[in-house]
Amino acid sequence: MADDPLSNSTTTNNKRAEGIQLQHGDSESRAPLLLAPHESYRLSAAILPFLFPALGGLLYGYDIGATSGATISLKSSTLSGTTWYNLSSLQTGLVVSGSLYGALIGSILAFNIADFLGRRRELILSSVSYLIGALLTAAALNFPIMVVGRFFYGIGIGLAMHAAPMYIAETAPSHIRGMLISLKEFFIVLGMLLGYIAGSLFVEVVSGWRYMYATSTPLCFIMGIGMCWLPASPRWLLLCAIQGKGNLMESKENASRCLCRLRGQASPDLVSEQVDLILDELSYVDQERQAGFTEIFQGKCLKAMIIGCGLVFFQQVTGQPSVLYYAATILQSAGFSGASDATRVSVLLGLLKLIMTGVAVLVVDRLGRRPLLIGGVSGIAVSLFLLSSYYTLLKDAPYMAVIALLLYVGCYQLSFGPIGWLMISEVFPLRLRGRGLSIAVLVNFASNALVTFAFSPLEDLIGTGILFSGFGVIAVASLVFIFFIVPETKGLTLEEIEASL
């Protein structure tokens, strides 16, 4: 268990409040009303509130990995097990990107239902959508049913990627919040690796694509049952009470019980004190009114929107979808015959992503968000210019492309991969967090779609080398954005982050 939360809390929190004021250089800035004591928690109690929401990320990653093998199986005249295996390029595109379109729909739905349902119920709805999508896809008797299944699965992705970081951020102890939210990215990468492995196992089995998609159904059940068992977010319960959606005293008692479960504490008095501090902060910062659409683009939420949407936008437009989706092609064009085995290459890249994400998880709460972003994005820029150099000047040095590709993947998983999702879950004010985060997730998936679909036409128009140079220039621009716009949130409570904005 952590140390006594009341010891030296006054001195420590005064310094933290001063630090926030000095960081923003504004004498009028308000120090956080919530001067939270050092939170007491049991690590074992903090794991499950992370684990079940993180399964939503694992199912997202699994879909990416499994679909790469499923398309090979589905289009095979001998292995598809269907009479409609002869898919056009448009139909193949719908299979591959159908979940992406569904995720866009899920992100839009989350805008209105997130604060109404709450984070936990949204994740339960996500698990149901995942399950329906997986079953429809695996049992599809024709192509239209398969597309519907892909859309349902994608809606689950959109809801999960919206609610999971919010639930984890609002329930995790401040001192390990960065590690837990970054671990969600680790689960996405783990899911991709499991999907690649499932693809390699079933790709030569008749109707193997059905098994690839059906394999995810047990995880959908586990996620749904786990979320039904977990408590609601105490911060969301208190926000509802402040906005007149429930009895204040009952909500305080319910929030205290939920926080006791989330922390595994033996001292209800300490939990009650933390609930009172959160409630005081919510009352102080005028959370009583329900959020309006225009408020998302005003004041502190506008600042949060610039930070969050900027990060997820640069996360995608620095070429991440293209570099990963075209990794096998890059290796093949570099002269490596092994690159023809797309499954094997994907598994190796998945392992590298998993290792580097693990490194980020271990250091994010010690080094902070900004150092990882600045260092990782600098490496991304270097790797993109190296790729450009290979395609334009150094075609006789195939090892250059391989080094650049591995450098890109490693640096992305140290920076944009985990830190982008972490920051968008931290910076939005509580009253506007559900709607703000839904817009950030929508920007993420829309940017992903834009880069994915624009890569091939741009490659034909200006050439691969110039295209990667363009991505490199954007990476440099994102570095400037991070340096001047993105704040450090390491060790601060969500209420302190909100006050600092």
pLDDT surpassing 60 at residue 11 = no
> Does 166 share its domain with 257?
no
Residue 33 lies in a domain: no
- Higher-pLDDT residue of 342, 468: 468
d(CA 177, CA 161): 17
Select the highest-mean-pLDDT range: 81-85, 155-159, 296-300.
Answer: 155-159
pLDDT surpassing 90 at residue 455 = no
Cβ atoms of 406 and 364 closer than 8 Å: no
> Does 274 share its domain with 362?
no
Nearest-5° Cα angle at 127, 124 to 131 = 145
The pLDDT value given to residue 218:
95
Contacts 24+ apart (CB under 8 A), 8-11: 9/35, 9/37, 9/38, 10/35
Which residue do the tokens 């689960």 mark?
A: 187
> Does 190 share its domain with 286?
no
pLDDT surpassing 70 at residue 461 = yes
d(CA 121, CA 117): 6
- Higher-pLDDT residue of 289, 466: 466
The pLDDT value given to residue 215:
93
Domain termination site, one of 205, 230, 255 = 230
Residue 128 lies in a domain: yes
Structure confidence by residue, pLDDT tens digits, 407-451? 998 999 899 988 888 888 888 887 778 788 888 888 988 888 788
As given in the structure block, the two tokens for residue 379 are 């490496």
Per-residue pLDDT averaged across 291-315, rounded? Answer: 81
Structure confidence by residue, pLDDT tens digits, 45-97? 678 788 899 999 999 999 988 887 888 888 888 888 888 888 887 788 788 88
From residue 499, how far is each of 29, 158, 237, 344, 475 by CA, in Å?
Answer: 8, 29, 20, 48, 30
Lowest mean pLDDT among 65-79, 140-154, 339-353, 367-381: 339-353
Cβ atoms of 435 and 296 closer than 8 Å: yes
SS3 79: coil
Residue 66 lies in a domain: yes
> Does 317 share its domain with 416?
yes
Residue 145 lies in a domain: yes
Per-residue pLDDT averaged across 339-367, rounded? Answer: 76
> Does 481 share its domain with 369?
yes
> Does 57 share its domain with 118?
yes
Cβ atoms of 305 and 436 closer than 8 Å: yes
pLDDT surpassing 80 at residue 501 = no
**Other Cβ atoms within 10 Å of 171 Cβ, number:** 27
Per-residue pLDDT averaged across 178-182, rounded? Answer: 82
Whole domain around residue 256: which residue ranges?
234-290
* DSSP string over 128-189: HHHHHHHHHHHT-SSHHHHHHHHHHHHHHHHHHHHHHHHHHHHHS-HHHHHHHHHHHHHHHH
* DSSP string over 102-113: HHHHHHHHHHHH
Rounded percentage of the chain residues whose pLDDT exceeds 90: 23
- Higher-pLDDT residue of 423, 292: 423
As given in the structure block, the two tokens for residue 303 are 């600042």
Per-residue pLDDT averaged across 212-241, rounded? Answer: 90
Which residue do the tokens 């340096």 mark?
A: 483
- Higher-pLDDT residue of 89, 352: 352
The pLDDT value given to residue 342:
52
Check residue 299 and give left, alpha or beta (phi > 0: left; psi -120 to 50: alpha): left
The pLDDT value given to residue 286:
52
Burial 325-340, CB ≥16 within 10 A → b, else e: ebbbebbbbbebeebe
Lowest mean pLDDT among 208-222, 324-338, 415-429: 324-338
Angle between helices 234-242 and 268-284 (to 10 degrees): 50
Per-residue pLDDT averaged across 238-266, rounded? Answer: 77
> Does 255 share its domain with 332?
no
The pLDDT value given to residue 291:
54
* DSSP string over 260-324: HHHHT-S-HHHHHHHHHHHHHHHHHTT--SPPPTGGGGSHHHHHHHHHHHHHHHHHHHTSHHHHH
Please, what is the average pLDDT of the chain? 79
From residue 363, how far is each of 180, 316, 412 by CA, in Å?
Answer: 12, 23, 15
The residue among 186, 128, 122, 131 whose CA lies nearest residue 160 is: 122
- Higher-pLDDT residue of 73, 480: 480
CATH number at residue 309: 1.20.1250.20
Residue 426 lies in a domain: yes
The pLDDT value given to residue 346:
63
Residue 158 lies in a domain: yes
Lowest mean pLDDT among 33-37, 295-299, 461-465, 466-470: 33-37
* DSSP string over 484-501: HHPPP-TT--HHHHHHH-
Domain termination site, one of 214, 230, 246 = 230
Per-residue pLDDT averaged across 230-235, rounded? Answer: 87
**Other Cβ atoms within 10 Å of 189 Cβ, number:** 27
Banded model confidence at residue 290, pLDDT cuts 50, 70, 90: low
* DSSP string over 390-436: HHHT-TT-HHHHHHHHHHHHHHHHHTHHHHHHHHHHHHS-HHHHHHH
Cα atoms found within 13 Å of the Cα of residue 127, Cβ hemisphere only: 22
The residue among 313, 322, 343, 353 whose CA lies nearest residue 186 is: 353
Residue 247 lies in a domain: yes
Domain termination site, one of 272, 290, 308 = 290
Residue 68 lies in a domain: yes
> Does 105 share its domain with 223?
yes
> Does 352 share its domain with 492?
yes
> Does 157 share its domain with 210?
yes
- Higher-pLDDT residue of 146, 421: 146
Q: Dihedral sign, CA of 461, 104, 330, 377?
A: positive
> Does 120 share its domain with 252?
no
Per-residue three-class SS string for 263-274: HCCCCHHHHHHH
Per-residue pLDDT averaged across 362-383, rounded? Answer: 91
Please give the model's pTM, rounded to 2 decimal places: 0.78
For the chain, the domain total comes to: 3
**Other Cβ atoms within 10 Å of 461 Cβ, number:** 10
> Does 352 share its domain with 412?
yes
